[in-house]
Structure 1
Amino acid sequence: MDIILESGLPHQQIPVDRIVQVLNDSYKLAKQPKYSFQNPIPNFQGIEFDVRKIIGIPEMKPYNEKAYGLTDGVLNLDIKMETGTGKTYVYTQTIYELHAKFGINKFVIVVPSLPVKLGTVGFITDPYVRHHFKETLGYNCDIELCEVVAMKKKSKGHNFFPSSVRDFVNGSNQQKNKIYVLITNQQLLQKGKVLDNSNYDITLHGFTRPLDAIKATNPFLIIDEPHRFNREKTTYKRIVDEIHPQCIVRFGATFPSVSAGKGKTRKDYVNLLYNLTACDAFNDNLIKGIAKEHFNPVNSKGEKIKVVGIENGGESVSLHYLNDKKNQHFDMHKGDSLAVISPKLEGLSILGISKKSIELSNGQEKKVGDEFTADIYSTSYQEQMIRLALDRHFETERKLFNRESKIKALALFFIDNIESFRGDENKNGAWLREMFNQQLEEHLKGELKNSENSTDYADYLKASLADIAKCSAGYFARDNSDSDDDIADEVNDILRNKKELLSLKDEKGNWNVRRFLFSKWTLKEGWDNPNVFTIAKLRSSGSEESKLQEVGRGLRLPVDEYGNRITGTDFMLNYIVDFTEKDFANELVKEINGDLKFTSSDKIFIPLSEIVKTAELRNVQVQMLQAEMLIAELITLEENGISVNEGRVVEFMDKYPEIKLGVNIDRVQDRNKTIIKKNVVIRKERFEDLRSLWDELNRKYLMFYQPDINKVIEQALPEIIEDGVFTRMSISSDREELKIDNTGAHAVKEDNKVYIVQGKTMAYNEFLRLANQETSIPIKIIHDTLCKYSKNHGKLNPELFNTVTLANLQNKFYTWKLDNLGGRIEYKQANYRTRSTALTDDKGRIRDDVAIGRIGVCTTTSKTPDKYLYETMAYDSPLELKNILDNIDDNIVDLVVYGKIPRNSIRIPNITKDSYSPDFMYVVHSKDGKTSLNVVIETKDVTQDAILRGPEKAKISNAERFFKQITNDFPDCKIHFKRQINHQTISVIIDSIMQVDNK
């Protein structure tokens, strides 16, 4: 299975473009290097102005209180991207793009640890990644990756330069289709045994020390995970002094903090060009949501005891006692009563102490690393957490396995006692793994009983039962030097064989059952697997680490069995912790929302995009909405953007609930608290009256263009191109001067300035490739049409093949397509059906609730009508609320049930750039009982159809054709599709349908 990479995603393309924009002028003026092994030498004169152009963007201003030029002769740039949003992809594309634009071909990547390095090496060297950048994106070059590894001991022979450094330095800039990338981890850079050694027998270009040779290449350097490289610490200073790159770009989700005076700190951003905040990533579904869960202690004290270690060969045991208020340490001996730790343990004493465990007077054995509560000491706390984690895992696994395209679910367990999983040198005492396997066997047998109707899933479970040991794997730091073949297989699966771990079957067609991973925080920054859906933290916390870093291993969006990244679905990560971290969800929300408070002013700024979205929802102009907020004194317009006035935040959020000032409440959940209020409860008795209609709506259809579509496009394209595709765009200024004379004040117009908009030029073949990518018109048709255009208008200036022309072609073709191709599509039923839907699970059972965000952004406390599908009224516009409250029962119609269709649940394919899902569904009967109607409504809060934009009209037109096809295929379930604008009521629309049907 190859993971299919997506290109051109806005949150990944913007940072690449901004880096190029800053460097553009400096590298256009670059000097040719003296030696072939060097990068071009940029002219950084004026670079401060170039940086100012980027950080002058309103969204970036709060993070850049001043503009920076060079620091210690090095240009510093920062890109902040939340964990799981693809920063490795972004800096890899940056490497390709800087080589293509400026001829830079020597890059150094510095990462914090071995797992990060292995992950990066695996990504850059994977054939599917190379093919993506070379063939799909058209960079037409390859990366030669040179990996710095630890020096092996040598007893004799020559001491050569590290081959990775030699290959990197020797790479010639005359190789136009080759990029040389040297990657090293922090430890190798710090300790210097490989890179700082000057005792090599043979020099390289006269250099006796690898660091000097690397420095001579004038490299471009990338730092991954910058919070591990504080600029005041030794490693960063070593990078600047010993490598002295021309530019350092830091890519990370977390940046180090520095003192801001008076006990305050601030993030150490230097020229922050892009900031994809955690809040944006969660709210835009770029990463999974999080559902935290813990076991509540039986009593309010929340006591827990941990066996820390055996001392003096078994003479005493070290116990750690923890509750909500204090931590205590106890050294105890054989015969001691545990009542000294807690009154709850009265009558319990230590019966015996061995090298690895203690025996209690109640017959229980507690091993080193084991944890137990003062209330329930018959089973360990880890055992309870494992049981909960397996419950959550199989809930998720069952759901993901029964999709049309299956997704393999993985679970990750963090432990703090390696021997509890690996055992001792003789593989004895792996009690945690034994306990896990016992519980896993119980869960597998239970799942198998409930999976008789799903043959594939039952087979997967049976294969798991047949080889339970194969289901789990561990990776710990000491494994790197272990010679055991089984351990090596586990480590390879976790660190290197990502695609195999994601696959449900191996190359021979056998089930790949490995899906439970164990580690000891060794898998931190850099390691990721997109299909981790459950993380259980079976270790004491004591960590001041970023909460986002803790859950970061499971945030990336998953891939299916075919390697497709799955977006547009609210995936959740199950995060299991113990009661000592019961406030994890609250702390995480605070951290996510921390980016809302900018600089020392501590003000909350509103993204302009949120105001634009709200204006569209409310069908008002953006300026009018801003004016309304200003008049109410809720906001202030500042140089840095729009801020909420102090003390008015709650009032603002109540009045404008559509505007998200923080992470959405359903994206970070605490399962220990009542979350039903954050969801909309489905009235199950009402749904049964709607089930037949819902089943029909969830039939899957494919959209086809008629066979002559290419001929139609070929005939129309010349006229489309003639319609100003190659016209130069211009903008002009409007200037008026206020003049005052004895008759009063007058505005006098002056000459306008006219500017020609210049797009970035590109090669003709690149123009054709991008035009095909943006329009799906075959390249031959585009080329032939341009040849004819050139014959009629003379040879085209190469400068006309630019981004402006490309945008003109895309926009004009898109407009033409909306106007002309709607009648040339057909719908055909697919040969599969959805097993689970927004309102039902894979067995057709009604769900308890649905996320409120899928129903509407606003809610009301008014009494919900009896025949409405949900217990809560959530809506997106005033017209939708009016529909919910509208009692359509009259002399003609008897309303049975109605409800909002969950957002994106019915994906009707159409000729626009995205799928379409209507708003309301109704089941109604005539009063005489002779007629039953299924009605689907598209609600548009506009005054007339003419106001609807082209794409919206096209979607509605396609939907009419779609529902007509369903009715043709299944006449017994006729579905009427109607659109509603705000002067129409649902009563009138349904009455008119009923009257026509009764005739």
Structure 2
Amino acid sequence: MKLKFDPNQQYQLDAINAVVNVFAGQPADSDDATRHMDQDGQLSLEATIAKGNSLTLDVAQIIENTHKIQEKNGIEKSETNEDGFSSPMTFPLEISEKSLNHGMNFSIEMETGTGKTYVYLRTIHELHQYYGWKKFIIVVPSVAIREGVLKNLAITREHFANLYNKPEMDYYVWDSKKTGQAREFATNDTLQIMVITIDSFAKAQNVMNRQSDYGRPLDFIKATHPVVILDEPQNMETDIRRNAIASLNPLCTLRYSATHKHLYNLLYRLTPVDAYDKGLVKKIEVHSVQSEDNYNDAYINVLSLERQSKTRSFAKIEVDASDEYGLQRKVIKAFPGDDLEVKTGRSVYAGYYVESINHDDDCVEFSNGKVVYVGQRDESLHDDIIKRQIELTIDDHFDKQRRLGNGVKVLSLFFIDKVANYREYTANGAKKGKFAKWFEEAYAKVASKPKYAGVMEGLLASEVHDGYFAADKSGQWKDSRDTKGEGGRTKDDDTAYNLIMKDKERLLDTGEPLRFIFSHSALREGWDNPNVFQICTLNETSSQMKKRQEIGRGLRLPVNVDGQRVYDDSVNILTVVANESYAEFSRKLQTEIEEETGIHFGGRIKNRDNRQVVSFQKSRALDPAFKELWDKIKHKTTYRVAIDTDKLVTEVAGELAQVTISKPHIAETKTLIDSMNSDSGFMVRETGFNTYAARQTEVKIPNLLADIQRQTQMTRRVIFDVLDQAGMFEQIAINPQQVIDETAQAINRVKQRLAVDGVKYHRTGEYYDMTLFENDELQAYLYDAAMKSGAVAVTDLAKTIYDYVAVDSEVEREFMQSLEDNTDVKFYIKLPSWFKIDTPVGKYNPDWAVAFDGDERIYFVAETKGSDDINDNHLSANERAKITAARQHFAEINVPYAAPVRSLRQALTMVGDGNCDT
């Protein structure tokens, strides 16, 4: 098949024109634009003729052009001085030999999968056509990216030839064994494109920088003043690499990436949000696979290893710990000598005594022989989860192929962290690892489903998958934990390399059986394929791959068998099969986008200038209305509760009768990211959910009574009666931890309810002192209508003690406005955060205290909510309980209490004066 390209994608043309127009006004080079150099690289009239690029445009014009482009594209203008651009991350643009050695740097930011390589290759042709420039060098940070660039040069050659009247062109990779390449690059009078890895010329000992009988290759390059293009420049930001790039003596340096580390005179930006919402890349669907209700075995997730001092280290470990609030998944610090059974309060961690923290191997070693690496989740269902991930990826693959038919070939990509899990290399050759075996078993299972009859018919499991793994200089496979085995590259590996890395068209041909690709790290950047529809990450240890790297391999829109792009939103979905929740996946992805692009999700960035100090008006505190109001509400109380334990046992048993105790299982959820929004974050919808019973494992029975007592503070006698009456003893063997959790939660719910119903308040004789207002310094951001919160200016300063009032909702803002507008309101306070009432369910801070003149003066407290019905489901159980308890408190101190209410009218009605017109 032959890939076809659409030359009329406006966003690509905008990126191309942004670069071309920087040099608007530059006359085209004539055929005699030459430079002369001798064997020492010095300019002379006698020596070698180098056909180079020339730049005669005045620096002031380049600056003006740049600013026009930036203004057009909505980008902040670069700062300038008399020498050129003055931003800290730019280089001077004075047009001289000296400044040309530094080069003019311009950045183009394009999201992965939107045709970045196509854009800069076409920009080369545009610059050649407009200005006659012929010498271009593409610098890449890795072999994988180099291979991708070469492939793109090959498959676009005919396309660009037709667009640009078939210019005579050569492209090639710099080969240190062919030093004559540099002379040919310099002397040829045709369009020359050299692709070179940064490490091929960054060091003094590189052939590029060494003198020979034929001169120094670098000097031939320098004489041409090439246009230098950096692919993924964030990987070339060290001083050594930047100096190497400057040594090429570039006319200008164009920097292309989706994830720039630094922006140099940014000309064009296509953010991931723009690309996603404009349909320029595939939609992302997360198919998460996780264990649920599997708390009967030790769970360990080593997040990081850190040093407290030169001699003392600790590990941050995620564990399931038991405390008074129940079983909590939390992060703890573990030092050598720590016992996880003690730190978690759970007997399932018996034997997990930290022997050592190994920074060299990034792991924690335990006394029971367990070794857990950074990023590794150690849990009993780990293999089951990976098997399920593989099966789901295959199933999603078959389903997508069935829907697309034979017109589009579907590919799936697996990222693994240990090569040996897929392929083991020995002195006797290579053999299948466990992932390969599990794949073939799952493939046979999925392929036999009746609904997939005829899909990929005749393709055997053994021929549809293969792997490509980067090799180190010794020929051994790179792997962070698995480099000691014997063996190395095989003939089959070379075949896979050529197919996966070089022959994109054959890989996309339906006649080629390969559909499932396994890779370690080689395909994380610089490689992509438009027809990757599934990406599955199988991690046993730490994954250093970022989410944007991961999904970037499959974001490009697919092509059909005729090489044409497919624009169908119903099938252009990249499914990421992950052993983490959608929430965890999306959080990491959003964080990376925020860090790498400056886009912030889930709410606006606050404007520092809108931060407002809320001032206390001391003079208003002398107002008799305020003093009378405060004297009414200032009293503190204490409470006692009486709980009928027989009633508690009965009600808890009744609740537990509705609970189903189930075996641990694996749950999988599909969540589609419909759109990305910089204000509200990712807009998503769930597209599928399934659960599967986990394998039966040995069940360890903990001390139920002790664990439940720790969470509820009830006596063991009461707990025993609850378990007995609810029939829970028969359920323990199914899932003991669920029995503990469900029972403890039910006891606490009922205990809380009965405590609130039986609460009795009494005055303590203590009270809140008015001087606390003077010591309370408040700050808040000005009211934001979109966020419906913030500080609102007080219009009638005679009515309250503050000049601004901080509100948390539109209901509160409207209530405040009613207090301001109503002439019968003599005084009001938004009660400060330190004014709290003790309740059986926690401390409670009421909203408002009001002095109102009707037929007589009324002092009351009000709680504003979005509902005026205490039984409304919009109120949480905790909110209802606090309001119920607060009624008893205010009754004890003889203050009317209106709660919950939406408006001042409702509050007045509730306290007995419903005739007042508000």
Smaller-chain TM-score bracket: 0.5 to 0.7
Q: CA deviation at 1:147?
A: 0.5
Whether 1:62 aligns to 2:76 is yes
Aligned runs of 1:147-186 on 2, under 5 Å? 147-149=173-175, 151=176, 162-171=179-188, 173=189, 178-186=190-198
Whether 1:245 aligns to 2:250 is yes
SS where residue 185 of structure 2 aligns?
helix
Q: Which residue matches 2:53?
A: 40
Larger Rg: 2
The whole-number CA distance in structure 1 between the counterparts of 2:282 and 2:679 is 13
Q: Which residue matches 1:573?
A: 574
Q: CA deviation at 1:388?
A: 2.2
The whole-number CA distance in structure 2 between the counterparts of 1:487 and 1:143 is 33
The whole-number CA distance in structure 1 between the counterparts of 2:69 and 2:508 is 40
Give the letter for the 1:529 counterpart. Answer: N
The 8 Å contact of residues 395 and 446 in structure 2, kept in 1 or not, is answered as no
Q: Which residue matches 1:188?
A: 200
Give the letter for the 2:285 counterpart. Answer: A
Q: Which residue matches 1:521?
A: 521
Aligned with residue 291 of structure 1, among 285, 289, 297: 285
Q: CA deviation at 1:11?
A: 1.0
Aligned runs of 1:807-886 on 2, under 5 Å? none
The whole-number CA distance in structure 2 between the counterparts of 1:596 and 1:441 is 42
Aligned with residue 113 of structure 1, among 124, 142, 147: 142
| Change in CA separation of 1:47 and 1:595 when aligned onto 2, cut-off 3 Å | farther
| Change in CA separation of 1:646 and 1:442 when aligned onto 2, cut-off 3 Å | same
The 8 Å contact of residues 465 and 518 in structure 2, kept in 1 or not, is answered as no
Q: Which residue matches 2:777?
A: none
Aligned with residue 662 of structure 1, among 678, 684, 693: 678
The whole-number CA distance in structure 1 between the counterparts of 2:115 and 2:193 is 19
Give the letter for the 1:182 counterpart. Answer: M
SS where residue 25 of structure 1 aligns?
coil
SS where residue 121 of structure 1 aligns?
helix
Give the letter for the 2:241 counterpart. Answer: T
The whole-number CA distance in structure 1 between the counterparts of 2:29 and 2:550 is 44
Aligned with residue 235 of structure 1, among 217, 241, 244: 241
The whole-number CA distance in structure 2 between the counterparts of 1:293 and 1:329 is 32
Q: CA deviation at 1:340?
A: 8.5
Q: Which residue matches 1:550?
A: 550
Q: CA deviation at 1:551?
A: 1.9
Q: Which residue matches 1:131?
A: 158
| Change in CA separation of 1:370 and 1:214 when aligned onto 2, cut-off 3 Å | closer
Q: Which residue matches 2:840?
A: none
Aligned runs of 1:196-345 on 2, under 5 Å? 196-200=208-212, 202-203=213-214, 208-230=215-237, 233-240=239-246, 242-256=247-261, 268-298=262-292, 303-304=299-300, 322-323=318-319, 325-326=330-331, 343=346, 345=348
Aligned runs of 1:388-403 on 2, under 5 Å? 388-403=389-404
Unpaired runs of 5+ residues, structure 1, are: 152-159, 257-267, 309-317, 351-355, 507-511, 606-642, 648-657, 675-999
User: TM-score, normalized by length of structure 1?
Assistant: 0.49
The whole-number CA distance in structure 2 between the counterparts of 1:277 and 1:185 is 27
Q: Which residue matches 1:450?
A: 450
Q: Which residue matches 2:753?
A: none
| Change in CA separation of 1:164 and 1:548 when aligned onto 2, cut-off 3 Å | same
| Change in CA separation of 1:321 and 1:299 when aligned onto 2, cut-off 3 Å | farther
Query: Residues 792-841 of structure 1: CA distance to partner in whole angstroms, max 9, x if unpaired?
Result: xxxxxxxxxxxxxxxxxxxxxxxxxxxxxxxxxxxxxxxxxxxxxxxxxx
Aligned runs of 1:382-781 on 2, under 5 Å? 383-403=384-404, 406-426=407-427, 433-451=433-451, 454-455=453-454, 457=455, 459=457, 462-465=458-461, 467-468=462-463, 470-478=464-472, 481=475, 482-506=488-512, 512=513, 514-539=514-539, 547-570=547-570, 571-579=572-580, 583-592=584-593, 661-662=677-678
SS where residue 112 of structure 2 aligns?
coil
- Larger mean CA deviation between 519-528 and 338-347 belongs to 338-347
| Change in CA separation of 1:673 and 1:270 when aligned onto 2, cut-off 3 Å | farther
Q: CA deviation at 1:4?
A: 1.2
The whole-number CA distance in structure 2 between the counterparts of 1:50 and 1:70 is 12
SS where residue 76 of structure 2 aligns?
helix
The whole-number CA distance in structure 1 between the counterparts of 2:413 and 2:193 is 32
Give the letter for the 1:473 counterpart. Answer: G
Q: CA deviation at 1:37?
A: 2.7
| Change in CA separation of 1:78 and 1:186 when aligned onto 2, cut-off 3 Å | same
Give the letter for the 2:71 counterpart. Answer: I
Q: CA deviation at 1:56?
A: 4.5
The 8 Å contact of residues 596 and 661 in structure 1, kept in 2 or not, is answered as no
- Aligned residue pairs, count: 554
Query: Residues 76-131 of structure 1: CA distance to partner in whole angstroms, max 9, x if unpaired?
Result: 221111110001101111111111111111101001110000010111023xx211
Q: CA deviation at 1:328?
A: 7.3
The whole-number CA distance in structure 2 between the counterparts of 1:365 and 1:428 is 31
Q: For the aligned residues, what is the CA RMSD? A: 4.6
Give the letter for the 1:145 counterpart. Answer: Y
| Change in CA separation of 1:538 and 1:220 when aligned onto 2, cut-off 3 Å | same
Give the letter for the 1:437 counterpart. Answer: K
Query: Residues 506-526 of structure 1: CA distance to partner in whole angstroms, max 9, x if unpaired?
Result: 4xxxxx1x2222222222221
Q: CA deviation at 1:64?
A: 4.0
The whole-number CA distance in structure 2 between the counterparts of 1:644 and 1:82 is 30
Q: Which residue matches 2:26?
A: 26
Q: CA deviation at 1:161?
A: 5.2
| Change in CA separation of 1:445 and 1:349 when aligned onto 2, cut-off 3 Å | same
RCO higher in structure (CA 8 A, sep ≥6): 2
Q: CA deviation at 1:446?
A: 3.1
SS where residue 22 of structure 2 aligns?
helix
SS where residue 70 of structure 1 aligns?
coil
Give the letter for the 2:179 counterpart. Answer: P
Give the letter for the 1:165 counterpart. Answer: A
The percentage of counterpart residues that share the same residue type is 25
Aligned with residue 119 of structure 2, among 87, 90, 97: 90
The 8 Å contact of residues 290 and 667 in structure 1, kept in 2 or not, is answered as no
The 8 Å contact of residues 34 and 51 in structure 2, kept in 1 or not, is answered as yes
Q: CA deviation at 1:395?
A: 2.3
User: TM-score, normalized by length of structure 2?
Assistant: 0.53
Give the letter for the 1:181 counterpart. Answer: I
The 8 Å contact of residues 188 and 194 in structure 1, kept in 2 or not, is answered as yes
Q: Which residue matches 2:132?
A: 103
Aligned runs of 1:933-952 on 2, under 5 Å? none
Q: Which residue matches 2:626?
A: none
Q: CA deviation at 1:138?
A: 3.4
The whole-number CA distance in structure 1 between the counterparts of 2:527 and 2:290 is 31
- Larger mean CA deviation between 522-531 and 98-107 belongs to 522-531
Q: CA deviation at 1:543?
A: 6.6
Query: Residues 240-277 of structure 1: CA distance to partner in whole angstroms, max 9, x if unpaired?
Result: 1x111011111111111xxxxxxxxxxx3222111111
Query: Residues 910-944 of structure 1: CA distance to partner in whole angstroms, max 9, x if unpaired?
Result: xxxxxxxxxxxxxxxxxxxxxxxxxxxxxxxxxxx
The whole-number CA distance in structure 2 between the counterparts of 1:38 and 1:169 is 6
The whole-number CA distance in structure 1 between the counterparts of 2:530 and 2:173 is 25
SS where residue 214 of structure 1 aligns?
helix
The 8 Å contact of residues 320 and 330 in structure 1, kept in 2 or not, is answered as no
The 8 Å contact of residues 322 and 328 in structure 1, kept in 2 or not, is answered as no
The whole-number CA distance in structure 2 between the counterparts of 1:659 and 1:147 is 40
| Change in CA separation of 1:479 and 1:196 when aligned onto 2, cut-off 3 Å | closer
| Change in CA separation of 1:305 and 1:586 when aligned onto 2, cut-off 3 Å | closer
Give the letter for the 1:121 counterpart. Answer: L
Q: CA deviation at 1:285?
A: 0.8
